[in-house]
Structure 1
Amino acid sequence: MPGNSLQDAVAAALNSSDQTDVIAGIKGAVISEIERLDPGVGITDTEYFNHSYAPDLVLTWPGTKQEREVYLRYNLRSARAARDVDLLGGSAPVFFSLDSRHDDAAVADDLEDDLEAESDTLVTNAPAIDGFTSRPATADISSVSDPLLSLFRRNVVRGGRGLLISGTAQRLQDTPGADDFEGDIAYLDTFEVTVGQMFRPDAATRLRRATDIVRAARTGNTALFDQDSDPDERPRAIGGKLELDELRILLPYLLERANALDSTAFWRYVGGMISLKQLEQLAETIDLPDLNRLVVANLREWRAARAIVSFSPEALEQERPDPSWTVAAKMLAATAGVWRVHFTADKRKGGSRDDSTLARWEDVWPNVSTATLSSVDMQGMTRRVRVSAEDGSNVFADVDTISSTIEDDFRVRSLTLRPTDEVSSDLEVDFKTMTVEARNAVLGDLASAAFDVLGWRYPLSTSERSQILGIPITPRQVVDQPDNSRERSISPPERLQLEGADTSDGDDED
């Protein structure tokens, strides 16, 4: 694109003597500028140009049915003379003035009067758009203006209304200096007022929500997220789901301030607007370090379908890494002790091994003694026994009895844990593949089963467990490893269901 701005590109196109080149140059410049404002927008060229009632471009957004028509006009005066706002304003269009030399204050005042009756119409010009797109990206993501101005830019063509000229752009870019708390609060107030004036209700709601989040992150005051808000004040906390583009802008700012935001209420509010799938998608384009506070606050809120456990032998010889939640291999991952566990909402994602060493019942039972076991599959030297219950009862005592009274070296191939909520399916813990699978399981249940049960050989320390799982996380808590030579007092089992019990002298499976 010639020149450094939309104005330069339009001026260069207008200098062409070929009308086809003029149209192609102008449309190409406008399309490029809109894409710079909102990379997620879809743009259709209608093949019309400066038509009286046919739009030049049609904008769409993935995942929504929203469309917005764009009409290119040489200047605001021509739009005013053609009564464009009166005749076409009912479809909430965007009128785009290409040559601002004649966009004087008198024309702007007249258009503002027209726009009062057509509140969803946006009229803007090249200098105003240049004012947003020419702003250099900053590495200082700790500034309150950086995420909000980025979101403002992305919503201009999608939800803007009224008259947007260069003065508005300049007012929002007068950002406070570093560590200027009073300046930051004043900017947030100005931004919120501007949003209410210049955006349609749906876009204004999204931007006010972002302002609330940034305000809480900057001030540390999370009272607006409490359910019992002051009835005399406007409700500030807005729910719903954040879109991927919103997260891509907001989350780095929030994570930058994570150490100062030790508030479970705040992170749970933010987590309620994020899905695991979105985190996986975000990790493809931005760095997501130190997700500890966000994830731990939402271990009882987020849900997944699969956990895959892998072993890091170097952690036995070196200093163990600090427990951490991050995104690795396009999946949410927790690292603690000698283990790394990947979590996904899609059971098809993530590989697994099929040759892990099985655990003896004596090794596993301390970590499941307070859980509700719906089934256990054990492999002995001469028998394979599956104990299960279909009535919701706990088979722990039954399994304990079998392993103590039958002469065999039983190893646990798999076991099934009841979830801690009433929505999830049972958790299938497989020692052969080192995986935990369930349907719509609470993330905390999957994590506890992975670290406490599958990770029995190298249990987490109290500190590691606190950092990665929170306290408390589930009713199951790691207990001190027992002395395997202890004597157990066994009572006769109330109910046994032996599925495929094999009393032969051997078994082909290990």
Structure 2
Amino acid sequence: MTFSDFSSALNAAFETPDPRDAVDRIKGVVAEELAQTDSRAVVKKTDFFNHSFAPDLVLSWPGEDERLVFLKSDTRPDVLRDDVSAIRKHHPIVFALDEVDNGLLNSTDPESQLPEDDTLIADTRGMEVLIRSRLHDPVVGLASSAVLQGGRGFLTEAEAETMASSVSSGFSGAQRLDVQTTEAAVTQISGHFDTRRTSRLLRFLSAVWVGSGGTPANFPGEHDVSGDLDSAALEFLLDLPEIEDFGFWRRIGRPLTLDSIQRLHVDDERENLQHLIESNLDVLQARACRVLERQPELGETVRRDFRWGIDREMLCLRNDHSAVYFAAKVDDLRVEPHSGDGISLPELLKRVEYRRVPISELELATPTRTVSYATVNRDDVSHDEELLDLTRTLSYSAHVKSAVATLMGTRQLVCDFPARTGKGRTTSKFPLGLLAPVALSLLTELAGEERRSLDEVTRFYQPNHGEQMALDDHSESEFLF
């Protein structure tokens, strides 16, 4: 909605003959303006209008405090000043239905000035600037969200243009490690937001600064920017146009965990999400995984190549045929397991041979018998003649119910084939760059094209020093990747 559209809609609402209907329409127009400023905000109307102490609208976000919105049609400086003084303890948004008078902005009389607190006084033109700016420059969306949650001071047309420009230039300045430009943005941000939102925006710029090769110590400004990048800021970063810089995403992702990734709400079609995960396959770890067969959803692009995504608050790797979900423990896997009989021993041997995964024990079952086969020293049993003889004795109707794969030298992954579920024995966790290809290769049948895609999507995984030593200490019959 442009300013002229908003103004026309607001005038039409004021001219509605029925007063109750007029109030509802006025609130609806403003609610739409706020929703366009921050699409993540939930806007709720109250039963009040232009009340001295009761809000007209309430804004809410997941995990954030609500913010009260008071609509004011009389924007004369003395009237608006008295109205703000009466409600300032709520740290509200005072939304002026007309432009804020310059007398309120430019007053030099201490008694005529508004107190400096976390109250935001905004007019229609200021909101329109943010809406227009975030459409042309997505990073401004982080600022417009922060404005509604914790903006303070004035948000007129000029103020909004300055704010949008400072956030945009601050982002590009941090990418270039431009001290002067970034410092100017830090100064602007520090004066226009409450403490929490200031910290969020500065951590965002600091993360971009570090991702671009800087250090926290030389980030401009004297503010404390320690702490991880929060979900809201990371989501905005992922929603930006593609950043094809492996080092940038690797530096951004080093503090992240599987849990912090799974809390994100982001479209898996975003290339930046692919870059973030693929650059940090060694630090993102899971203990459990589950493989499901799947059909493409309505409207979903059909593809054989694997891509990372977030589904049901779980990180997954999927194509149009299979999906593997990851979690910190089996109980956190929010998808029902597959139900089957298991797989034949020849099929298991074929799968482990491709990935060269050592199997230290397994369980075979027929309709009437169950046999466990294991080695005392955790050697690879997959080529034992005794195992093949046992299988012939049990007949080829025998199925492998479970197998234990040894990864990284000592960590054991228990594979349940009927449920297509893998979990680390005891507290074992595995980096996604290792777990994803092993789980998909062992727990489901992959075509050659899918295997090549799986290798491609995990190509950046490199074991850390400790993992590499564990691999080097084992023979070639053990896992090599």
Deviations 1:422-453 (A, max 9, x none): 9x9x6321345544245894453532532565
Counterpart of 2:289 in structure 1 is 306
Match of residue 326, structure 1, among 305, 308, 317: 308
Match of residue 209, structure 1, among 203, 224, 229: 203
Answer yes or no: is 1:20 the counterpart of 2:25.
Answer: no
Answer yes or no: is 1:413 the counterpart of 2:398.
Answer: no
Are the structure 2 counterparts of residues 57 and 421 from structure 1 closer, same or farther at C-alpha, using a change threshold of 3 Å? farther
Answer yes or no: is 1:259 the counterpart of 2:258.
Answer: no
Are the structure 2 counterparts of residues 380 and 124 from structure 1 closer, same or farther at C-alpha, using a change threshold of 3 Å? closer
Are the structure 2 counterparts of residues 21 and 476 from structure 1 closer, same or farther at C-alpha, using a change threshold of 3 Å? same
- Compute the displacement of 1:203 (Å): 1.0
TM-score (normalised: structure 2): 0.72
Structure 1 unmatched ranges of 5 or more: 139-145, 312-319, 483-510
Counterpart of 1:275 in structure 2 is 260
Counterpart of 1:493 in structure 2 is none
Whole-angstrom distance in 2 between the partners of 1:265 and 1:133: 31
Whole-angstrom distance in 2 between the partners of 1:339 and 1:18: 57
- Compute the displacement of 1:251 (Å): 0.4
Counterpart of 1:131 in structure 2 is 129
Counterpart of 1:6 in structure 2 is 6
Residue 70 of structure 1 aligns with an amino acid whose one-letter code is V
Whole-angstrom distance in 1 between the partners of 2:310 and 2:48: 47
Counterpart of 1:358 in structure 2 is 344
Q: Is the 8 A contact 1:111 1:163 kept in 2?
A: no
Q: Is the 8 A contact 2:364 2:372 kept in 1?
A: yes
Residue 335 of structure 2 aligns with an amino acid whose one-letter code is K
- Compute the displacement of 1:12 (Å): 3.1
Equivalences for 1:469-488 in 2 at 5 Å?
A: 470-472=461-463, 474=467, 475=470
Are the structure 2 counterparts of residues 61 and 168 from structure 1 closer, same or farther at C-alpha, using a change threshold of 3 Å? same
Whole-angstrom distance in 2 between the partners of 1:368 and 1:58: 55
Are the structure 2 counterparts of residues 78 and 416 from structure 1 closer, same or farther at C-alpha, using a change threshold of 3 Å? same
Are the structure 2 counterparts of residues 365 and 417 from structure 1 closer, same or farther at C-alpha, using a change threshold of 3 Å? closer
Are the structure 2 counterparts of residues 203 and 476 from structure 1 closer, same or farther at C-alpha, using a change threshold of 3 Å? same
Q: Is the 8 A contact 1:80 1:111 kept in 2?
A: no
- Give the secondary structure class of the aligned counterpart of 2:95: strand
- Give the secondary structure class of the aligned counterpart of 2:291: strand
Whole-angstrom distance in 1 between the partners of 2:150 and 2:343: 58
Whole-angstrom distance in 2 between the partners of 1:34 and 1:464: 45
Residue 73 of structure 2 aligns with an amino acid whose one-letter code is Y
Are the structure 2 counterparts of residues 263 and 183 from structure 1 closer, same or farther at C-alpha, using a change threshold of 3 Å? closer
Counterpart of 1:450 in structure 2 is 439
Are the structure 2 counterparts of residues 130 and 39 from structure 1 closer, same or farther at C-alpha, using a change threshold of 3 Å? same
Answer yes or no: is 1:104 the counterpart of 2:101.
Answer: yes
RMSD of equivalent CA atoms: 4.8
- Compute the displacement of 1:376 (Å): 2.5
- Compute the displacement of 1:195 (Å): 1.4
- Compute the displacement of 1:298 (Å): 4.1
Equivalences for 1:22-37 in 2 at 5 Å?
A: 22-37=22-37
- Give the secondary structure class of the aligned counterpart of 2:62: coil
Q: Is the 8 A contact 1:413 1:432 kept in 2?
A: yes
- Give the secondary structure class of the aligned counterpart of 1:6: helix
Deviations 1:263-318 (A, max 9, x none): 6333324x349634345x4237x54477155245144334363231779xxxxxxx
Whole-angstrom distance in 1 between the partners of 2:336 and 2:370: 29
Aligned length in residues: 444
- Compute the displacement of 1:104 (Å): 3.1
Q: Is the 8 A contact 2:358 2:406 kept in 1?
A: yes
Residue 127 of structure 1 aligns with an amino acid whose one-letter code is R
Deviations 1:359-408 (A, max 9, x none): 358667779998695x521348996422579xxx7544789879369654
- Compute the displacement of 1:342 (Å): 1.8
Whole-angstrom distance in 2 between the partners of 1:232 and 1:71: 36
Q: Is the 8 A contact 2:138 2:240 kept in 1?
A: yes
Residue 84 of structure 2 aligns with an amino acid whose one-letter code is V
Are the structure 2 counterparts of residues 121 and 420 from structure 1 closer, same or farther at C-alpha, using a change threshold of 3 Å? farther
Whole-angstrom distance in 1 between the partners of 2:109 and 2:8: 27
Counterpart of 2:298 in structure 1 is none
- Compute the displacement of 1:165 (Å): 1.5
Equivalences for 1:317-466 in 2 at 5 Å?
A: 325-327=307-309, 332-334=315-317, 342-345=324-327, 346-349=332-335, 352=338, 354=340, 357-360=343-346, 373=360, 375-379=361-365, 384-387=370-373, 395-396=378-379, 403=386, 408-409=391-392, 412-417=400-405, 427-437=413-423, 441-444=429-432, 446-447=435-436, 449-450=438-439, 453-454=442-443, 464=455
Residue 50 of structure 1 aligns with an amino acid whose one-letter code is N
Counterpart of 2:145 in structure 1 is 154
Whole-angstrom distance in 2 between the partners of 1:117 and 1:167: 20
Whole-angstrom distance in 2 between the partners of 1:240 and 1:131: 30
- Compute the displacement of 1:159 (Å): 0.5
Structure 2 unmatched ranges of 5 or more: 295-302
Are the structure 2 counterparts of residues 480 and 451 from structure 1 closer, same or farther at C-alpha, using a change threshold of 3 Å? farther
Counterpart of 1:72 in structure 2 is 71
- Give the secondary structure class of the aligned counterpart of 2:43: strand
Q: Is the 8 A contact 1:367 1:453 kept in 2?
A: no
- Compute the displacement of 1:49 (Å): 1.5
Are the structure 2 counterparts of residues 407 and 16 from structure 1 closer, same or farther at C-alpha, using a change threshold of 3 Å? closer
Comparing 431-440 with 87-96, greater Cα deviation is found at 431-440
Counterpart of 2:236 in structure 1 is 249
Whole-angstrom distance in 1 between the partners of 2:377 and 2:224: 46
Residue 257 of structure 1 aligns with an amino acid whose one-letter code is I
Whole-angstrom distance in 2 between the partners of 1:40 and 1:421: 46
TM-score (normalised: structure 1): 0.69
Are the structure 2 counterparts of residues 396 and 377 from structure 1 closer, same or farther at C-alpha, using a change threshold of 3 Å? farther
Deviations 1:62-86 (A, max 9, x none): 234x122222112432564652333
Residue 43 of structure 1 aligns with an amino acid whose one-letter code is V
- Compute the displacement of 1:247 (Å): 4.0
Counterpart of 2:277 in structure 1 is 294
Q: Radius of gyration: which is bigger?
A: 1
Are the structure 2 counterparts of residues 44 and 252 from structure 1 closer, same or farther at C-alpha, using a change threshold of 3 Å? closer
Match of residue 192, structure 1, among 186, 196, 214: 186
Deviations 1:114-158 (A, max 9, x none): 7774411111111111211234723xxxxxxx2431111112121
Are the structure 2 counterparts of residues 440 and 362 from structure 1 closer, same or farther at C-alpha, using a change threshold of 3 Å? closer
Whole-angstrom distance in 2 between the partners of 1:404 and 1:433: 23
Deviations 1:27-74 (A, max 9, x none): 12111111111223233322222222222222222234x122222112
Q: Is the 8 A contact 1:367 1:476 kept in 2?
A: no
Are the structure 2 counterparts of residues 94 and 305 from structure 1 closer, same or farther at C-alpha, using a change threshold of 3 Å? same
Residue 266 of structure 2 aligns with an amino acid whose one-letter code is L
Are the structure 2 counterparts of residues 147 and 216 from structure 1 closer, same or farther at C-alpha, using a change threshold of 3 Å? farther
Whole-angstrom distance in 2 between the partners of 1:162 and 1:122: 5
